[in-house]
Amino acid sequence: MEVETKSNYGKVILDYGPSGLVIASVNKDSNSTASVNKDSNSTELRVLHALHLADNPFIKHFMISSSEIFCKLQEEANKLFPNTVPQSTVASYSRKYRGILRELVASFEEARDSSSASLYYNLEFVWHFCEIMFISSNPELPVLPYYSEWIHLNFDDSKVVVSHLEDELSEMDSENAKKMWGVIFKLVFHGKTKEAASYLSHMNPTNSPVVEEQIASMSELMRKRPVYHPTLHSVTNYERAWSAWKEEVELRMSHRIFFGHEELLFICKIMLGDDAAFENAKDKIDSWYEYLGMTLTYKYPTARPGSLKGHAKLVIEEFGFHDPANMVPMERVLLEAMDYNIVSVLRDMQLHWNYPWFTLHFADLVYCNGRFSSLKDIELESSSVGLLRDEFILDHGTTLMQHATMWQVGVRYLESIPDRGGWPVIKECIQRKKALTDFDTHKIISVAERFGFSGEIHGICRERALMKLKQGQKQDALLWSIKAGDGPLTTHILDILLVDGTCDIEQSLLESLRNALPCADRLLFLTGFCDFRKMMDRKDLRGAVSQLCHLIKENLIPTRMADKIALNIQHFKDRNTTFEDWQVSTLMEFLHTRVNPSEVGDDMFQKLNSVLLCNRAEGIVKSLNSAKIKLVK
């Protein structure tokens, strides 16, 4: 029964090619409304090709930089194994990743690619927060220092605003004053009260002594606000200092020191954690996480990382910044991080960005640190992290392997998968690398040698030999076929080389052939013939004749070469040199049985014959003469 449906319309041909592309042919189908391209011709092909991320020079540089950080971390982890990499070291690597992310953002901004700049900005934003939760902070110590830094780095525009107002600071109009107060408020919200205090001195345009005093009092309060640092303070001492400071703020408030100054009163109430002031602050804040930062700073300064989620939910729900159901994916990731749900964070980041750069490198950091496996009360699926890490490395490494120049970076990632898990991909990928030059091929082979992929090395060398042969570069083809250890191919190439009979092969090639494993009879002939030519060049006729006779005796001279080889006999004519009887006999036999007179020409044939006869005759004469001398004696 025939397969009749082959001629049906509506069939898309598919081939998931070596570069990750899909070839689709859309056949004309006027009835189909679901046609990919209704106007297509049935004899047209559309080849879909994913342009590689690394084709963008900024991304390429970024990927190379991140691979260097990754490899250094692996080296460190391997040195310390079975111990894990210390928290401070992992944190420093995390900051390096953030550093190159910020560089990438700056590059895109400079190139006016705001879309890409935004993408990687957000990536760094989320990374930083995850770094706080999973790497930098201690679950048993206040999280505020890290959180404040994160907020301030991402939402501080004070320098930009102030730089625009620099020339007018001493004499600000009401509009600029409003902007300046906006800067001061923002700094207060972010807990940067010292910086805020430095701008307060500009906020007395009328030089009122009352205002001057109020500003001086507020500046003092702002500067005295205790700021927790994990290495400098114990929590207990900090809480004591904080309470004392709070009391002082309350005292000044109750003494109505800031009475009549709206802005300073507002700041004072914020610092006291006044709910009404917080409500008013919402208009001046862009996001719930900024608001959360303010809440922590002035209400819960010693909150631990584990309590962030509870505070965040309160902020989100009670103050209605966002309907949780309408949260953008990144906000969900932040909340998952607050839950220490590393697996959900990684999965959502992978889903959201559809590329494993973030997930791979972050999972690797957590994996190398390994500290959560030893902490109580934190359910961290640390075993899952390792598996996810390997999956993401495989994904990223495979993608890099498909790039023309980045594939060696891909190798570095793939070889970091435990139990040689990445080796099959490396093996598969290097076979598909298009080597444009011998240098490229040697690069591929050196990688294959490192992993012991002998089969692939032979295959690559063989392909190179075939390619060289196709290009007419026979000697190069011969070198590659020998490297491939391919006897039949080598024989074939040698036959081609010898077809014109000149054996015009570079001396250096012949020398290297001598050292190669002789994998073909033709090769033995060539190396032997190389020696013969050298001896002829040195006028070492005896040696040359001996070598030639050896080639004849061993039956190494290809049939089609016999005529051309025989022509060398004419150069053996030398009165001072006679050859051994057996040598002359061998050459004579060769001349008369292997050489075609019509090929060399009758005259030449006679000439060659006579050279041998003369040499034989002189040999006889010499031996007779020496016998005569003996008799005489």
Partner 1 sequence: MSSTIAVTTIDTGHEDMIHDAQMDFLGTKLATCSCDKSIRLFDVNLTTGSQNFVTDLKGHEGPVWQLAWAHPRFGNLLASCSYDRRVIIWKEREGGKWENEHTYDGHDSSVNSVCWAPPEWGLMLACGSSDSSITVISCIENRWVHTKIANAHTLGCNAVSWAPAASSVGSGSGDVQPVRKFVSGGCDNLVKIWKEENEQWVEDVKLEGHSDWVRDVAWAPSAGTTRMKIASSSQDRRVIIWNNTEDGAWVPEALHVFEDVVWHVSWNFVGDVLAVSGGDNQVSLWKKQESGNWECISDSAKTQQQQQPQDHRTL
Interface positions, 310-339, toward partner 1 (CB under 8 A): 328-331
Among 64, 91, 119, 378, binds partner 1 (CB under 8 A): 119
Q: Could you tell me the smallest distance in angstroms from the CB atom of residue 402 to partner 1?
A: 9
Residues whose CB is less than 8 angstroms from the CB of residue 7 and which lie 6 or more positions away in sequence, other chains included: none
Query: Considering all CA atoms of the chain, what is the largest pairwise distance in Å, rounded to the nearest integer?
Result: 149
Contacting partner 1 within 185-244 (CB under 8 A): none
Contacting partner 1 within 506-545 (CB under 8 A): none
- For partner 1, the closer of residues 132 and 425 by Cβ is 425
**What element of type H or E holds 23?**
strand 22-24
3-class secondary-structure state, position 513:
helix
Bridge partners for 23 per DSSP? 47
Q: Could you tell me the smallest distance in angstroms from the CB atom of residue 626 to partner 1?
A: 57
Q: Could you tell me the smallest distance in angstroms from the CB atom of residue 493 to partner 1?
A: 11
| 405 lies in the binding site for partner 1 (CB under 8 A) | no
Bridge partners for 22 per DSSP? 16, 48
Residues whose CB is less than 8 angstroms from the CB of residue 551 and which lie 6 or more positions away in sequence, other chains included: 525, 528, 529, 532, 557, 565
Among 29, 76, 574, 618, binds partner 1 (CB under 8 A): 29
Among 95, 164, 240, 420, binds partner 1 (CB under 8 A): 420
Give the contact letters, 468-507, x = binds to partner 1 (CB under 8 A), - = no. Answer: -xx-------------------------------------
Q: Could you tell me the smallest distance in angstroms from the CB atom of residue 612 to partner 1?
A: 39
| 78 lies in the binding site for partner 1 (CB under 8 A) | no
Bridge partners for 223 per DSSP? none
Among 44, 279, 500, 537, binds partner 1 (CB under 8 A): 44
- For partner 1, the closer of residues 46 and 240 by Cβ is 46
- For partner 1, the closer of residues 19 and 78 by Cβ is 19
Q: Could you tell me the smallest distance in angstroms from the CB atom of residue 415 to partner 1?
A: 10
Q: Could you tell me the smallest distance in angstroms from the CB atom of residue 470 to partner 1?
A: 7
345 with 130: CB under 8 angstroms? Answer: yes
Q: Could you tell me the smallest distance in angstroms from the CB atom of residue 68 to partner 1?
A: 20
| 11 lies in the binding site for partner 1 (CB under 8 A) | yes
| 30 lies in the binding site for partner 1 (CB under 8 A) | no
Where does this chain touch partner 1 (CB under 8 A) — which range of 23-31, 92-100, 232-240, 542-550? Answer: 23-31
447 with 414: CB under 8 angstroms? Answer: no
| 47 lies in the binding site for partner 1 (CB under 8 A) | yes
Q: Could you tell me the smallest distance in angstroms from the CB atom of residue 27 to partner 1?
A: 6
46 with 25: CB under 8 angstroms? Answer: yes
| 32 lies in the binding site for partner 1 (CB under 8 A) | yes
Q: Could you tell me the smallest distance in angstroms from the CB atom of residue 427 to partner 1?
A: 6
Where does this chain touch partner 1 (CB under 8 A) — which range of 14-22, 65-73, 302-310, 442-450? Answer: 14-22
Among 96, 412, 427, 607, binds partner 1 (CB under 8 A): 427
| Cβ neighbours, 10 Å, residue 232 | 9
| 601 lies in the binding site for partner 1 (CB under 8 A) | no
268 with 249: CB under 8 angstroms? Answer: yes
Among 423, 540, 546, 614, binds partner 1 (CB under 8 A): 423
Burial 469-504 (b: 16+ CB within 10 A, else e): beeeebbbbbbbbbbbbbbebbbbbbeebbeeeebe
Contacting partner 1 within 337-356 (CB under 8 A): 347, 350, 352-355
Where does this chain touch partner 1 (CB under 8 A) — which range of 83-91, 113-121, 250-258, 301-309? Answer: 113-121
| 6 lies in the binding site for partner 1 (CB under 8 A) | yes
User: Is the preceding omega at residue 597 within 30 degrees of 0, hence cis?
Assistant: no
3-class secondary-structure state, position 83:
coil
218 with 259: CB under 8 angstroms? Answer: no
Q: Could you tell me the smallest distance in angstroms from the CB atom of residue 511 to partner 1?
A: 27
Contacting partner 1 within 140-169 (CB under 8 A): none
Where does this chain touch partner 1 (CB under 8 A) — which range of 171-179, 207-215, 276-284, 431-439? Answer: 431-439
Closest CA to 224 of 202, 205, 203, 252: 252
Burial of residue 514 (number of CB atoms within 10 Å: 0-12, 13-18, 19+): middle
Closest CA to 495 of 461, 522, 471: 522
Q: What is the DSSP string of 328-370?
A: -HHHHHHHHHHTT-HHHHHHHHHHHHSSSHHHHHHHHHHHHH-
477 with 466: CB under 8 angstroms? Answer: yes
Among 452, 581, 620, 628, binds partner 1 (CB under 8 A): 452
Among 272, 378, 466, 604, binds partner 1 (CB under 8 A): 466
Contacting partner 1 within 92-111 (CB under 8 A): none
- For partner 1, the closer of residues 50 and 621 by Cβ is 50
Q: Could you tell me the smallest distance in angstroms from the CB atom of residue 183 to partner 1?
A: 22
Where does this chain touch partner 1 (CB under 8 A) — which range of 170-178, 374-382, 465-473, 511-519? Answer: 465-473
551 with 525: CB under 8 angstroms? Answer: yes
Among 422, 482, 549, 616, binds partner 1 (CB under 8 A): 422
Helices (H), ranges, 402-540: 407-414, 423-431, 438-451, 454-470, 474-484, 487-498, 507-515, 521-537
Please report where in the chains the tokens 């923002």 appear, as a residue: 186
How many residues sit in the footprint of partner 1 (CB under 8 A)? 91
Q: Could you tell me the smallest distance in angstroms from the CB atom of residue 251 to partner 1?
A: 39
Burial 23-59 (b: 16+ CB within 10 A, else e): ebbbbbbeeeeebeeeebeeeeeeeeeeebbbebebb
| Cβ neighbours, 10 Å, residue 506 | 9
Instruction: Give the type of residue at 119.
Output: L
| Cβ neighbours, 10 Å, residue 211 | 16
Contacting partner 1 within 256-295 (CB under 8 A): 287
CA distance 471 to 465: 10
Closest CA to 505 of 485, 532, 483: 532
Q: Could you tell me the smallest distance in angstroms from the CB atom of residue 433 to partner 1?
A: 8
| 21 lies in the binding site for partner 1 (CB under 8 A) | yes
| 419 lies in the binding site for partner 1 (CB under 8 A) | yes
Give the contact letters, 376-395, x = binds to partner 1 (CB under 8 A), - = no. Answer: ------------x--x--x-
Structure tokens at 82: 């079975």
